[in-house]
Amino acid sequence: MTAAPDPVQGVLPLPSGENSLHISLEGFEGPLDLLLDLARAQKVDLARISIVALVDQYLAVIEGARRIRLELAADWLVMAAWLAWLKSRLLLPEDPDHDEEDDPQLLAERLAERLVELEAMREAARRLNRLPQLGQEVFARGMPERLVVEDRSGLSADLPALLQGYIVALRRSAAKRPYRPKPRKLLTVQDALERLARIVGELPEWGVLQGFVPDELVDPVERKAALASTLIAGLEMAKGGALELRQDEAFGPIMLRRQSAAPAEPAGEEE
């Protein structure tokens, strides 16, 4: 077995590894991409390279390693095809009407540029795949959650039995009386007006608004409704001149009494 050739000046061999096809031919042993670089720089004698042996080794590697990535095998095939094409250019007689655009050196350089662009696109695709995926790692606003329903009841029933049970339930519910909530005992504004007219006439001094709410109302909702009705009734009576209302500070207690010529201070307040 001959030793792998040393790097030639002006040609930088790519590192061999899982992405390189190692071949052993007469006149060369090493990675396939290195052979293509040497041929492009005209640093290796392609006349001594057997394209048939190269193709045989390529097929043997593909058949022996089923886990090779498709794009990697395609890169190797492109390299081998270009080597075969370069050698055919050497073996065929030179065409006097040869176009500079078909020069092997230019075509090899274009191939190298395309391979670099292809690798750049693959790297960009890998970076995109590493980003958070919509619907997997991140979710858009208003996107419904994926709910998995698991039946762990262990119960089973056929459709006729289910329909029969549904009909029985409908008949049972139809026989029942409709639900009617218990009516609340609410103090209306008219009732509050009549109550204030009776009480305030007997109390010449200031009284707190909460003291005019009936004591028999113990439910919080009923007491709040009665307090609101009493306040509205007090405002109506004050508007008519029958009552006086007073509140010394914001959110403070509301005081009321019957109308008098000389207003007096609220009970319990002393300087």
48 against 123, higher pLDDT:
123
8-state DSSP, 42: T
Tokens of 176: 């029942």
What φ, ψ does residue 192 adopt, rounded to 5°?
Answer: -65, -35
Q: What is the pLDDT of residue 177?
A: 73
Cβ-based neighbour number of residue 53 at 10 Å: 13
Q: What is the pLDDT of residue 230?
A: 87
- Kindly report, residue by residue over 208-226, the tens digit of the pLDDT: 888 888 888 888 888 888 8
Q: What is the pLDDT of residue 90?
A: 64
Boundaries of every domain in the chain: 22-92+104-127, 189-258
Q: What is the pLDDT of residue 1?
A: 35
pLDDT range class, residue 80, cuts 50, 70, 90: confident
Residue 15 has pLDDT above 60, yes or no: no
What is the torsional sign of CA 57, 58, 62, 63? negative
222 against 271, higher pLDDT:
222
Q: Work out whether strand 207-208 and strand 255-258 pair parallel, antiparallel, or are unpaired.
A: antiparallel
pLDDT range class, residue 120, cuts 50, 70, 90: confident
Do residues 77 and 58 touch, judged by C-beta distance below 8 A?
yes
pTM for the full predicted model: 0.32
Gap between the Cα atoms of 55 and 69, Å rounded: 18
Residue 178 has pLDDT above 50, yes or no: yes
- Average the pLDDT over 226-233 and give the result: 88
CATH of the domain spanning 189-258, picked from 3.30.750.24, 1.10.10.580, 3.10.270.10, 3.10.20.90:
1.10.10.580
